[in-house]
Amino acid sequence: MKPEDNMNIILVGKSHGKSRVLALNGTVAFALALAVAALIAAAGWGGYSVAVSQAEADKPSDSELVAEWQSKLGEQKAELAGLQQNVQDQVDALTLRLGEIQGRLLRLDALGQRFVESGLVGSDEFDFNQPAAVGGPEDSLPADSFSAPELTRMIDELEHKMQDREQQLRLLDQVSSRQKLEDELYLEGRPITWGWLSSRYGYRSDPFTGKRTWHAGVDLAGKDGSDIISVAGGVVSYAGERYGYGNLVEIDHGDGLITRYAHCKTIKVNVGDVIQKGQVLALMGSTGRSTGPHVHFEVMRNGKSENPETYIKRASR
């Protein structure tokens, strides 16, 4: 619209539909339009200013932002500390289990060493003082560290294998102990370390009367004071003087088997002592009914004498 143009404004009344026409020249109309536009712009700017002011009022301050971040950082630190404690607890548990496994391995090594020393297994086959030999080509894939669950699984598998090995070794130990006990109780060999057979088992001419008498053992002559040894393991059931025998040692080997060692010069054991095969029982002498240094050796089973030469000539186990 140009200022020189005229503008007519029609006013309509409420009653009877009557209207009036208001004529405005161009300058007045233009000024009025500008006033309305300015009023609308002022209203818009006022609304915008109010909205901006409200937004600024709702925006947190710098101190509030710092406090919020510090709170979040504290929560994260607490979570991190909890995770670290959990990991440490798992490491402590694994360390404890590894310590227990190490102790069990030491016991297994000791038991294995006993088998080597007993001759049950060869020392050239099993050296329990050295780690087991291992080897093989390396995988081309990069090596990774084990996680805690993987370590736990590996330890569980190792413990299971160790339980199997321990059971097998215990059974082997029982067999070995039983075998050793049987060998210990196996009666064989001579009751002296040096000497000769001077009188056999059975009827003979009595050295004092010359009459035919029963000799219930064998005589083994030797050097005065030489060792008299046990031909098998057992328990001393008698140690002292007995008529005709002089100083006598009697060993009970169980299963009704007894050996006697007579005419001793000096007795080295006492009643109740547990005796091992080859242990010195006494020193050779000539006490009792004797003509010189020797040992009278008897073997009795269930109260009846047996020929000691059968056991003297017996092959070792």
Q: What is the CATH number of the domain that holds 269?
A: 2.70.70.10
Sign for the pseudo-dihedral over CA of 119, 123, 126, 129: positive
Residue 271 placed within a domain: yes
What pLDDT is recorded for position 25?
Answer: 61
Among residues 239, 203, 201, 245, the alpha carbon closest in space to that of 219 is found at 201
Give residue 223's pLDDT: 94
Indicate if 220 and 276 belong to the same structural domain: yes
Do 204 and 179 belong to one domain? no
The confidence score (pLDDT) of residue 283 equals 97
Asked whether residue 137 is domain-assigned, the answer is no
The answer to whether position 160 is within a domain reads yes
The parent domain of residue 171 ranges over 89-127+147-185
Q: What pLDDT, on a 0 to 100 scale, did the predictor assign at position 255?
A: 86
Q: Report the SS3 class of residue 53.
A: helix
211 and 299 belong to one structural domain: yes
**Is residue 67 in some structural domain?**
no
| Residue 88 DSSP label | H
Asked whether residue 111 falls in the same domain as residue 15, the answer is no
Q: Which two tokens stand for residue 32?
A: 């009025």
What pLDDT, on the 0 to 100 scale, is given for residue 258?
A: 95
In 119-207, alpha helices (H): 148-185
Determine the pLDDT at residue 101.
Answer: 77
φ/ψ of 37, rounded to 5, equals: -65, -40
Q: Mark whether 236 and 290 lie in a shared domain.
A: yes
**Domain membership flag for residue 190:** no
Is 249 inside a domain boundary?
yes
Q: Are residue 207 and residue 303 in the same domain, yes or no?
A: yes
Q: Which of 306, 310, 295 is nearest to 192 (CA)?
A: 295
Residue with tokens 């009877």: 16
Q: Which two tokens stand for residue 54?
A: 């409200």
How many domains are there within the chain?
Answer: 3
Q: Are 263 and 246 in contact (CB under 8 A)?
A: yes
307 and 218, same structural domain? yes
Q: Is residue 1 part of a domain?
A: no
Q: What is the 3-state secondary structure (H, E, C) of 231-268?
A: CCCEEEEEEEEECCCEEEEEEEEECCEEEEEEEEEEEC
Q: Would you report the helix, strand and coil content of the chain in percent, each value rounded to 5?
A: 40, 25, 35
- pLDDT reported for residue 171: 66
Mean pLDDT by 10 residues, the chain (317 residues): 55 57 61 73 72 66 74 82 78 75 73 66 57 58 61 76 71 64 80 92 88 93 95 94 95 92 96 93 95 95 94 76
**Residue 191: inside a domain, yes or no?**
no
What pLDDT shows up at residue 30? Answer: 66
Residues 171 and 116 in one domain: yes
Burial class for 217, CB neighbours closer than 10 Å (0-12, 13-18, 19+): buried
Query: Of 158, 185, 212, at which residue does a domain stop?
Result: 185
Q: Are residues 168 and 242 in the same domain?
A: no
Task: Report how far residue 17's alpha carbon sits from residue 305's, in angstroms, rounded to the nearest whole number.
Answer: 161
Q: Are residues 181 and 287 in the same domain?
A: no
**The pLDDT value given to residue 40:** 78
